[in-house]
Each structure stands twice: as C-alpha cells, then as structure tokens.
Amino acid sequence: MSELIAYIAPQNVLPALSDCLLILNSNSTHLHVQQAEDESAIQRHYVLQMPVQRLVFPPVNCHWLIAALSNDPHQSALPKLGSLVVTAVGLCTNHLDLARALDIALAASLSDLVAALLQRHLHDGATLADAIIRTNAQLKGDVSYVCHQKGQTQFMFASCMGRPLFVGLESGLRQICCSNLRLIRQRANQVYAMATGDIVRFGLGVPSLILPDGSEQALHMPAVNKSQNIPHYMLEEIEAQPETLAILVQKYSAGYSLPLPLRGKLAGIRRLTLLACGSSYHAALVASYWFETLAGIPVQVGLSSEYVDRDIHADPYDLIVAISQSGETADTIAALQHVQNLSSARTVALTNSPGSTLTTLVDHTLLTHSGAEQSVSATKSLTAQLLMLYVLAFSLGEARGKLSKDELAAVQQEMLTLPTAVAETLQLGKDIRRWAGMLHRKKNLFVIGRNTHYPVAMEGAFKLREVAYQHAAAFPAGELKHGPITLVNDELPVIVCLPWNQQAQKMLDDLKSVRANRGEIFILSNGNIASVDGTSVIRMPNGLTNLSPIIYTVALQMLAYYCAVLSGNDIDAPRNLAKTKTVELA
C-alpha cells in the first residue's frame, strides 16, 4: 500500500522526511518526491535500500514537499510539473470517462487526472480551493490527494474522499499531512483526522477546513497522547481500531453510501457467495448472519482454498464477494477466477489494498481504508472488513425492500456507537492481561460462542494459534455436548463469548456441562454475571446488538496478543507465517 507524506515549514523539511521513512519502515522501495528546491519545483525519485536507511538528501532549501512511497518503480504516478503539484492515491471509478472528457491519455495516472481537472477549473478563474470543490464533485470512487500551487509558498491543500489523511502540527512550526496513523501519532503533537469529504488548507498558519461555500474554519486539533510507548505493531494496530472504524462510520453515515454502479445492481441480486481465507474468512462467516437477517438473502461462505475444487452453480443474479486484506492472497484470487470461469456472476473485491490484483479482476471494489497493516496478524483490517460487510448487508436489505425505513435507520444508528464501544473494550486491557497470565501456559484451550459469536470464537482461536502458538479450538457452544465435552477437564480452559442476547440462556446451560467436568471458564459478557470460583468474568461494553461481534473480536485480539507477549513470541512476524505484501500502482 502506498503512503502519502506532505510537509510544509519555514525551514528545510527533507530531514523530517528521512525521519518519517525510518518510522514507517515500509517494504516499499520507491520514493517519489515533488519538492521545492530553492525557488523552483522539481521531482526526484529514490530507490530505497532494505532495511530502510536514513536518506541523505542534497543540501538544498526545501520548505515544502509531497512524497509518495510505494512499490511503483515508474514515475507514472506524478504529473508533469505544471503550475500544480498533485499526488493522489485511491481508486477513481470514472477515470476513463474523465480522461476522455479532458482529452488526456486514458492511461494517465490518478495524479495526472486530478491535476488536469484542477487545472481546468483554475483556467476558468477558480481559486485553488474552489477548483478542489469542483473537482471533487466530478471524481467518483475513493480518491484522496494533496496539492500545491506554485507561487503559493505559504500553504497547500489536502482533500480526503477515500484513503484517510491526517494533518498534524510538529515542533519547529512544521505541518505534516500523511496517510499513516502511526506516523502522524509519532511525529505530530496535535492531529486532525480528516473525514471523508474534508478539504483542509495547511501551511505556515493555523490549518483550516474549507467549507462547501469556499469559506474557511480553523481546525480543532486535539493533542496526541505521547505517554504510551507502543512496543509492537500488533498492539498499535489493535489500539488504532476506534479511529479506523470511525473513519468508515463517518464515511457511511454522512450521506455517502456504496458506489452507485454497485448500488444499482443490488436489487437484482438473489444469492450471495463470500470467499476468503484466514481472518477474512471469519469476517465472512460473521457477516453471513447479517446478510440473512438484514438482507433476507441466501448466502454461502467459501474457504478459498476449498472452493477452487468445487462445482460451482452461479448465474448473473449471484453476487460473489472476495474478501482479502491484501488483495493478493493466491487462494482467494484463484477462487474468484474459478467462479468467473464457470459463470457470469457479478463480483466484488472487499480489500484494504487499492490497486491490488483482486481489484483488477472484479466488477466493483469496496475499500476498508484501515491503513497499512504491518503485523502479520490481521486486526484493524479485519474489524474494518466486518464493518464494510455490515454496510453491504444493510444496503442489500434496503435495495431488496427487506428493511423498513425505521429498521434501516436503527441499523445505521448502531454504527455510530461502535467506535466508542471499541474504545471502551480497549480499556479492558488490564483485565485481559490478567487472563493472559492464567492462560498463556495452557497447551489446549476451547473458545465457544453461538450465532454471530461462533465465528468470533473461531477468530479468537485462530489468533491464539497464530501469535500465541497455543492449540485453541473453537466450537459452537451447542456442539460441546456432541463430542468436544469429552476433552474438558481442569487442564482445559474454556473461553466464552456470551453477549446478553436471545442465545444467552442457552449459553449458560451449555456452561453447566463444562463446570460439571471441572473446566475453568473465562467469560466475556455484557450480562450481569458474577465471577465465582472457577468462573472469571470480564464485563464487556453494552449497547451493541448486530455489531457486538466486533468488540468481542477486539477483546480476543488482546487476549492472543498478551498470551504471545508472555510467551516471548515474535509478535509481528510469527514463525512460519508471512503476510502477503501488496503492490499499489495508484
């Protein structure tokens, strides 16, 4: 995934860029920089050494720059320098139509396209702020960009309509805009997280928000809490979830919805297939319940590596959703191609990686916008997948007439409370660490749940195997009595996802057999259940119904993380595993 970094300051900003590269420690090797050099603007291309080293830049006076860090070796992403300097990231769904209308090459890069649109409005007499407002009205899809107009040495603009951008104040009067949450947290003292639709002017004065009528409003920039030293990417990515989810919540609750070409097709869909591997597969399983309940549609979930060997019966009324954080997982690509070879079903890629292989194979792309994920274990990308699948489920429910207006409003309203509920779940870290102290030496564990919380249990067990190297098995609680109960004894702890809902009483009944066999019980629940001898309870936040699986997932992520820490494991790169690396061309 490419990263975007822009700097503006009264002093030379190249050393600050070098610091950013060290912090990002990315596996991307190409750095394209558009920068001020004395009084002119120039482009430079650097090929980075791995592991990332401090870069030594030429001794020039560079007081602004816009840099793109990616795996794209070609300098196609940046426009020829005219009066505008633009770097854009994301996916524009009407790229070809706009390129034709502008009479530029159809293969023009996204940055070229945005620059050409802006130039046209500037040519018609618009200010740069107005040109951005007009350009954004023409762009469809998820496009974020930073631009700078030559001659305007005091400021630049950031526009966020896709990939999240953050604007921050650093020491030394430097102002930064970047796409990476970890970077901005480490570099800046005060940060504004741009919401979808935001246009921000930043530079040598107070940063401001450009309102739809072109007027400006000073930005409120909360201080960054620097007291926490976060030791692993996995923990950092777990803790980023209130922010990554808030970005999606804002995007899908403020009048924005799914891309029009996909929305237009939803009413005609009769059956859904979700394809994925690993954690993405668990997201698909959770979502399958939402699709049945909220959209009233038959749904099947395929594990990609198995799906490729099955006989497929799909037709144009089927919607196939391939889910992959990286968009590069070979099994999921193969499963998608398998169904494409045998049918003309509509296809969607749900991914965190714009420009990934999966996105090039499908009719529609949905992006999860959770930022680059460094740890092999999927955490923030997984909860973002869940939320996007929820949005797809209620959008299908709306299109198919399954949800009344009031029901739709209620399911959308629940999204608004999610980031706070996730933040409250993170506050349980101390209790979960205590559990990890009791559990990390156990060779075998069960994780159980019912309904949507059964796949959550599967994900929890998966994480315990993946990072804590413990043999954890997940079961639907009602299945314990059909076999697994033979293994329960005082050496086998049972972790229980027990949201206080229609299944709660049945869950309590299931637990009686565990206690009868001296199994130690660890319950996550928002119910009023007391800890007693042999049963330890952590009280989960209240208020979620459909979206409750997300907070239980977060709690189990923390449990696996702390068990792994106590066992001294390599948290971010567990043995024998590798994260699929992504190549973004946009």
Q: Which stretch binds ligand BG6 (CB under 6 A): 122-130, 249-257, 320-328, 443-451?
A: 320-328
| d(C-alpha 391, C-alpha 426), whole Å | 23
Of 244 and 280, CB closest to ligand BG6: 280
Of 538 and 573, CB closest to ligand BG6: 573
Q: How far apart are the first and last CA of the chain?
A: 9
**Residue that has been written with the tokens 């009205």 in this structure:** 137
278 binds ligand BG6 (CB under 6 A): yes
277 binds ligand BG6 (CB under 6 A): yes
Residues in the interface with ligand BG6 (CB under 6 A) total: 14
Q: Which stretch binds ligand BG6 (CB under 6 A): 73-81, 236-244, 290-298, 376-384?
A: 376-384
Q: Which of 319, 329, 328, 259 is nearest to 295 (CA)?
A: 319
| d(C-alpha 260, C-alpha 93), whole Å | 10
376 binds ligand BG6 (CB under 6 A): yes
Of 85 and 384, CB closest to ligand BG6: 384
CB 281 within 8 A of CB 308: no
CB of 292 to ligand BG6, least distance (A): 23
Q: Which stretch binds ligand BG6 (CB under 6 A): 77-85, 166-174, 275-283, 538-546?
A: 275-283
324 binds ligand BG6 (CB under 6 A): yes
Of 278 and 371, CB closest to ligand BG6: 278
580 binds ligand BG6 (CB under 6 A): yes
356 binds ligand BG6 (CB under 6 A): no
The residues with which 331 forms a beta bridge, in sequence order, are none
Which residue's CB atom is positioned nearest to ligand BG6?
A: 278
CB 88 within 8 A of CB 110: yes
Q: Which stretch binds ligand BG6 (CB under 6 A): 132-140, 233-241, 254-262, 370-378?
A: 370-378
Footprint on residues 127-166 left by ligand BG6 (CB under 6 A) = none
Write the DSSP string, 26-87.
Answer: -S--EEEEEEEETTEEEEEEEEPPSS-------S----EEEEEEES--STTSS---SSEEEE
Q: Which stretch binds ligand BG6 (CB under 6 A): 168-176, 234-242, 325-333, 407-415?
A: 325-333
Candidate list 377, 379, 383, 451; residue touching ligand BG6; CB under 6 A: 377
Kindly state the DSSP code that residue 545 receives in the 8-state scheme: S
Of 175 and 370, CB closest to ligand BG6: 370
CB of 559 to ligand BG6, least distance (A): 16
Candidate list 288, 325, 357, 535; residue touching ligand BG6; CB under 6 A: 325
Footprint on residues 548-577 left by ligand BG6 (CB under 6 A) = 577
| d(C-alpha 98, C-alpha 48), whole Å | 34
Candidate list 26, 329, 525, 553; residue touching ligand BG6; CB under 6 A: 329
CB of 384 to ligand BG6, least distance (A): 11
Of 279 and 470, CB closest to ligand BG6: 279
Write phi, then psi, for 243 (nearest 5 degrees).
-75, -45
Cα 181–chain centre separation: 11
383 binds ligand BG6 (CB under 6 A): no
Q: Which H or E run includes 335?
A: helix 330-342
Of 250 and 370, CB closest to ligand BG6: 370
Q: Nearest 5 degrees, angle CA 491-CA 495-CA 499?
A: 155
| d(C-alpha 11, C-alpha 63), whole Å | 6
The residues with which 199 forms a beta bridge, in sequence order, are 159
CB 164 within 8 A of CB 371: yes
CB of 218 to ligand BG6, least distance (A): 40
Handedness of CA 543, 549, 550, 556 (dihedral sign): positive
Of 109 and 329, CB closest to ligand BG6: 329
Cα–Cα distances (Å) from 55 to 14, 18, 24, 313, in that order, read 9, 6, 13, 55
Residues near ligand BG6 (CB under 6 A) are: 277-280, 324-326, 329, 332, 376-378, 577, 580
